[in-house]
Amino acid sequence: MDLKNKRIIVTGCARGMGAATIRAYVNAGAQVVGMDQSDDDGTTVCMEASKSAAGQATYINVDVADKASVTAAFAAAVEQLGGLDALAHPAAIHRSGSASEVSVDDWDLMLAVNVRGTMLTNQAAHPYLATAGGGSIINFGSISGQRAEPSAAAYSVSKGAVHAWTRTA
């Protein structure tokens, strides 16, 4: 994979798939801004990825479920990068709970972060990608969005919505 000089935002960069995505993109030569709410972990992932790689990563805090936060973070990232070629959006949260036991708080939180966060980040990226003449938005779904998940009902619903949004957008 050659991403030399590509300008990319990666959400959920502090751990898991987001951290792995940062490392892969920076190793492939990309200029990356990682975003998360876990400032210490996000900063560490970006600094470590940049140490011996072809590209570079920096960190910006974002709450993907909050429009003002997303708008400000994306504006800062695009200014720093000098444009935008791609958004990788793995940011998500998971809470266990069957359909009969999931709490309203967990339901609302997962839909806010996983679904609204997908919409907000995609909408924030779109005008910058259009200005650059095109680019890519990569939303991270899950097999949980394609099959029944009895122990993770709300997570399954949220990832199903991410799949539907991505097909539609």
Active site (catalytic) residues: 155
Full DSSP string of the chain: ---TT-EEEEESTTSHHHHHHHHHHHHTT-EEEEEES-HHHHHHHHHHHHHTSSSEEEEEE--TT-HHHHHHHHHHHHHHHTS-SEEEE-------B-TTT--HHHHHHHIIIIIIHHHHHHHHHHHHHHHTT--EEEE---GGGTS--TTBHHHHHHHHHHHHHHHH-
